[in-house]
Chains A and B, each alone.
Chain A
Amino acid sequence: MDLQNQQRVKDAAEKFGAENVVVVLGSSDAEGAEIYAETVTNGDPTYAGPLAGAPLGLAVYHVFEPEIRQEADEAAWEEQISMMEMVLDTEKLGQAVKNMREQYAKYPL
């Protein structure tokens, strides 16, 4: 996760309280999704950004996970996301994020 985005997540957690922030990922790669999820829960694993050593424990989900999908407007989902559902391995992406969430998140939905 790039340094600017780490800072934005950190700022949001400080401003609204970590228990009130949910991070929704749209990464197309499972390995990338896992690292992003780890960064916002257990801290930046590369120790390069503002979240290095900062285990925020945020609730983090991939947009394809059922908890998020069922919250989405059906028509918007169809228009914006349904094509990518056919392209990507949604299960693998969701599982990658879930693994990190179950290990490190302190504030599940």
Chain B
Amino acid sequence: MSNVAVKGYAYCLNHVPELALHYGNTPYVERKTKGDSEFLKQLPGTLQRFDEALAYPANQAYIGGMDLNALEAHPQPWYAHRVEGASRFGKYGEIMPEDEFLGLLDMCDVFDLIWLEESFAARIREKLAAHPFMTPALLARLEKGHSPEEIRGEAEMHHALPLYFGEVPVGCVRQGHDVDECLEAYVLLENLACKAGGVLALLHLFKNAGIAPEDVDFVVECSEEAAGDMNQRGGGNFAKAVAEIAGCVNASGFDVRAFCAGPVNAMIAGASQVAAGARKNCVVLAGGAVPKLCMNSRDHVKKGLPSLEDCLGNFAVLLTPEDGVSPVMRLDALGKHTVAAGAAPQAITGALVWDPLQKLGLGFADVDKYAAELQIPEITVPAGAGNVPEANFKMIAALAVMKKQLEKAEMNEFVKQRGIPGFAHTQGHIPSGVPFVGHACDWINEGRIRRAMIIGKGSLFLARLTNLSDGASFLLEPPQAKKASVDSLTKEDVKALLLEALSDLAVSLGKREA
């Protein structure tokens, strides 16, 4: 079996401007090193309100509240042309407000690391009780809360970090150890937020895929955070921790790491297990990255633009054996950026796009849509990183020209036809191809496209272990007609076949006697 069904998908955002303001890495480091700088004074005024984040067109596209073609046609800049009547819930997931997310953080905390102020905890309990997926078991995990004095004391005496809502402290995240830097409050906040985002996406996936938590066999997590202590800095694992909270009692799991190439590699790791028959219902998921909030805000502030990096991104995808109905992920033509391939963009594009197509005897035009590095351009362009998705599509087009499959004059048309607009937050692993899986599967189901290529690229060199980058890719296609196999025959089927054969034999013998 070389195909695996993509049975369901969920995409959520957590709108967390105050986590961004205090714990996004750029403002956090600025505050630590420079104190109350001019940049930090201006930053709060550039962050979006919840209703603005809901109405931001790219956010709606991410949660399935807006088609990508509609996003592309939407007037720009998107931050100045918001969507009227935008809903918190889209067909893939939701945009959760910050107060509820702080409550979810506490629900995902099993080591009493998150303390919420008691009146805030009571208010959030009421709000979360109205959430469609917060079960009584989950709500029971929300603590009763602590007094403001206790929370203040924890911050002043024990290095806890305050959590804010409405510009006032409403709780704190506590350190996990006195001297272990891997368990300091900041790291634990990062990890718990990533875990909570993964849980939220998984809860939506249950509904979207029509499965129960106990149906999940295995979870592969693919964020960029490291869970561990000072003796095993990245020991793991987020996958099982997420599965536990979401009630996946029959699941185990592991984490896959490859910077931004993590999700595509994780999809391949999950699908390979399904294809081998080792697991049946395999979920690939990731929560978001607190440090990447407000990452480019210095440039946004300098240019008087809104700081749009105020959302944690997360996703979950369910992979199952081929069912003849769901779009499939092909495993017989995967893109792999090998060690020897080299670091030049054309070597990478060749390995990830051209090599798998060649293996199947296909050309560049046989893929209707490509998806690689889907960062929202309004975030990256002012920061000097350019329109990242467009640059990727141009690279694919340029390679097609080099391979003599496209005329140079047709490059722009190729990019327009086969590219998609960037609609994912600059959350590292989140933009890398996988946000398009949901839209691509819908479009395949609707007959709008026949084939999509999902491409992930990761900057491994940031970890200072290698100068290499990494990449991986796979193709999504329509389901193939289900073929009857020996395994799928029931006892009744065999009986009916035997009776049919015996009856044929009797007729034939009767004829001979006559």
Q: Which residues of B contact A29 (CB under 8 A)?
A: 384-386
CA distance A29 to B296 in the complex (A): 15
Residue of A nearest to B381 (CB): A29
Contact between B385 and A83, CB atoms less than 8 A apart: no
Contact between A82 and B384, CB atoms less than 8 A apart: no
Contact between A84 and B346, CB atoms less than 8 A apart: yes
Residue of B nearest to A80 (CB): B344
Interface membership of chain B positions 342-355, coded 1 if the CB is closer than 8 angstroms to chain A and 0 otherwise: 10111101000000
With A87-B391, A87-B395, A87-B398: A82-B346 Cβ-Cβ less than 8 Å? yes
CA distance A32 to B345 in the complex (A): 18
Residue of A nearest to B408 (CB): A86
Kindly state whether residue A109 has any CB partner on chain B within 8 Å.
no
* Chain B, 384-427, CB within 8 A of any chain A CB: 384-386, 391, 394-395, 397-399, 401-402, 408, 411
Contact between A86 and B411, CB atoms less than 8 A apart: yes
Q: Which residues of B contact A5 (CB under 8 A)?
A: none
Kindly state whether residue A31 has any CB partner on chain B within 8 Å.
yes
CA distance A29 to B381 in the complex (A): 9
Contact between B346 and A80, CB atoms less than 8 A apart: yes
Residue of B nearest to A36 (CB): B384
A-B contact count (CB 8 A): 43
Q: Which residues of A contact B346 (CB under 8 A)?
A: 79-84
* Chain B, 465-491, CB within 8 A of any chain A CB: none
Question: For the side of the interface on B, what is the size category?
Answer: 10 to 19
Contact between B384 and A35, CB atoms less than 8 A apart: yes
Contact of B349 among A31, A79, A80, A83 (CB under 8 A): A83
Contact between A84 and B395, CB atoms less than 8 A apart: yes
Q: Which residues of B contact A103 (CB under 8 A)?
A: none
Main secondary structure of the interface of A (DSSP, over half): helix
Residue of B nearest to A86 (CB): B398
Kindly state whether residue A28 has any CB partner on chain B within 8 Å.
yes
Contact between B384 and A87, CB atoms less than 8 A apart: no
* Chain A, 29-48, CB within 8 A of any chain B CB: 29, 31-32, 35
CA distance A86 to B344 in the complex (A): 14
Contact of B399 among A35, A80, A81, A83 (CB under 8 A): A83
CB distance from B351 to the nearest CB of A (A): 13
CB distance from A101 to the nearest CB of B (A): 19
CB distance from A76 to the nearest CB of B (A): 10
With A28-B386, A29-B385, A31-B384: A82-B402 Cβ-Cβ less than 8 Å? yes
* Chain A, 82-107, CB within 8 A of any chain B CB: 82-84, 86-87
Q: Which residues of B contact A79 (CB under 8 A)?
A: 344, 346-347
With A28-B391, A79-B344, A79-B346: A84-B384 Cβ-Cβ less than 8 Å? no
Q: Which residues of A contact B384 (CB under 8 A)?
A: 29, 31-32, 35
Q: Which residues of B contact A82 (CB under 8 A)?
A: 346, 402
Residue of B nearest to A31 (CB): B384
Contact between B394 and A87, CB atoms less than 8 A apart: yes
Residue of B nearest to A84 (CB): B345
CA distance A30 to B480 in the complex (A): 47
CA distance A35 to B298 in the complex (A): 15
CA distance A32 to B380 in the complex (A): 12
CA distance A84 to B394 in the complex (A): 9
Residue of B nearest to A35 (CB): B384
Q: Which residues of A contact B411 (CB under 8 A)?
A: 86
Q: Which residues of B contact A32 (CB under 8 A)?
A: 384-385
CA distance A79 to B347 in the complex (A): 8
CB distance from A73 to the nearest CB of B (A): 13
Contact of A83 among B342, B386, B402 (CB under 8 A): B402
CA distance A81 to B343 in the complex (A): 11
Interface hub of A32, A82, A83, A86 (most chain B Cβ within 10 A) = A83
CA distance A81 to B399 in the complex (A): 11
CA distance A24 to B409 in the complex (A): 30
CA distance A31 to B381 in the complex (A): 10
Residue of B nearest to A85 (CB): B398
Q: Which residues of A contact B342 (CB under 8 A)?
A: 80
Would you mind naming 15 contact pairs between A and B with Cβ atoms under 8 Å apart? A28-B391, A29-B384, A32-B385, A35-B384, A79-B346, A79-B347, A80-B344, A80-B347, A81-B344, A81-B346, A82-B346, A84-B346, A84-B395, A86-B398, A86-B401
The residues of B with any CB-CB pair to A shorter than 8 Å are 342, 344-347, 349, 384-386, 391, 394-395, 397-399, 401-402, 408, 411
The residues of A with any CB-CB pair to B shorter than 8 Å are 28-29, 31-32, 35, 79-84, 86-87
In the complex, the 10 A-B pairs of residues with the closest C-beta atoms, listed nearest first: A83-B346, A32-B384, A86-B398, A80-B344, A87-B394, A29-B386, A83-B398, A31-B384, A29-B384, A87-B398
Add 8 more A-B contacts to A28-B391, A29-B384 (CB < 8 A).
A31-B384, A32-B384, A32-B385, A82-B346, A84-B345, A84-B398, A86-B397, A87-B398
